[in-house]
Amino acid sequence: MQPDANPGRPAVDPASPDWLGRWSDRAEIRDSGLWNVDHVARGYEPKFLEVLERYVRTGSGPNGSKMKKVKASGTTPPNPPSN
């Protein structure tokens, strides 16, 4: 079975024409538009996505515990020391 990120439907975010994966020696990478094709053809538990969405939306984890907010870094790396 060929892995497909969106089976039977048009690609939501197709790979660009110059994507390096188009030249892969593995057909499943070329055809799927994904570098990591491990487990793509496996089924999943839809309930998991519902639970994950609720956690993300509410900021709560299992048992109502609050998840720690993480601030995005926006900083640039320091300049290397000059000699």
**Among the listed residues 42, 41, 23, 22, the one whose alpha carbon sits nearest the alpha carbon of residue 33:** 22
Residue 78: band (very low, low, confident or very high) from pLDDT cuts 50, 70, 90: low
Q: Looking at this protein, which amino acid is placed at residue 32?
A: S
Of how many residues is the chain composed?
Answer: 83
Distance CA 5, CA 41 (A): 9
pLDDT tens digits, 16-62: 889 999 999 998 888 888 888 888 778 888 898 888 888 888 887 77
What the block records as the tokens of 68 is 């720690």
Give the model's pLDDT for residue 73.
66
- Terminal-to-terminal C-alpha distance of the chain: 57
Give the model's pLDDT for residue 75.
59
Distance CA 20, CA 74 (A): 29
